[in-house]
Amino acid sequence: MYKILRKKVLNPTVISITVEAPNAARLAKAGQFIILRVDEEGERVPFTIADANPQDGTVTIIYQVVGASTRKLMALNEGDYLADFAGPLGKPSEIEGENVVIIGGGVGCAIALPTAKAFHQAGKHVDTIVGFRNKDLVILEDEFKAVSDHYYLMSDDGSVGEKGLVTQKLEELIKNGQKIDKVIAIGPLIMMKFVCQLTKQYDIPTVVSMNPIMIDGTGMCGGCRLMVDGKMKFACVDGPDFDGHLVDFDAAMSRNRQYFEKERHDYEATCNLLNKKEEN
C-alpha cells in the first residue's frame, strides 16, 4: 500500500498527488512513468513522474480527471492509500543538446516540467512554450519559470499570456533566428503532430512523449503499440520518447478514439457509484 501524503488541486480538472514510494523515488529519472492501481479491483493506469524526491522517498504525479480510474483517484485524499504504485518504467529522456525548446500542451505540461528541469540542471539553455485553452486551466507557471531561460505562455482565447497556438510562438522564434538544437513536445497528439510538421520544415530534431493506453508496462500486452518509421514499437519499453518526425500520429489518434465510448461509459458508472457512497 502506498500512502498519499499531499494532494493539491491545480485547476478544476487537474490534480497533483505526492505518494510515499521510496524505491521509485530513488531510481526515477525525467521522462519515466509509473503504473498505479487505485484499489485491488482497479485498472492499471500509467502516469508520468512529475517529480521525485529520493531524500524523503516521495513521487509526485499530476493527472487530469477524464475517466473512471482518475475519477476514483480524485476521490482519495491525504492519508489514503493506493493499492499499487509500480515504477519507474520506460526509458529516461536523453538530456542532449545545448539549446532546447520544450513545448507543453495542457496537462502535458506536467510531463514537460521534469524534462525542462533536467535540462536546466545540466546547464543547458531552456526555453519553454506552454499552451492552454484559457487562464483557468494554467498550471505550473512558477515551476516552469524557475527552470527556463525564457517562458512563453499561450492561450487559445487570449485570456492569459499571448493569444495563439504553441506552434505560432515556435515559428516566431525560428524566424527570429534563435538557435535551436532540439524541440521536445509533450501534450495532445494533435498538438505534437503539428509541432513536428513545423520542425520538419526547418530540419530541427524533435522528440515527442507518447503516452497511449498501457496495461502491464513491460511490453508483454501490446496495449501501447504504435507505428514509428513504419515499424511497430511499444511506448512502455521503447519509449515513451520517440523521434517525432517518424511517428504515425494519424494512426495513434485513430487508435485512441476506439476507446472513447467505453471510457465514457466507465466514467459515468464510476461517478454514479461514488455519488451513491457519498449519499450514504
DSSP 66-114: -SHHHHHHHT--TT-EESEEEEEESPPPP---SEEEEEEEGGGHHHHHH
Q: What is the pLDDT of residues 176-197, one digit of tens each?
A: 999 999 999 999 999 999 999 9
Which pLDDT score is estimated for 41?
84
Assess whether pLDDT exceeds 60 at residue 242: yes
Q: Is the pLDDT of residue 252 over 70?
A: yes
Q: Which long-range contacts (CB under 8 A, 24 or more apart) does 151-159 make?
A: 151/127, 152/127, 152/128, 154/129, 154/130, 155/131, 156/131, 156/132, 157/133, 159/134, 159/135
pLDDT digits (tens, 9 = 90+) for 34-93: 989 998 888 888 888 999 999 999 999 998 888 888 888 899 999 999 999 988 988 899
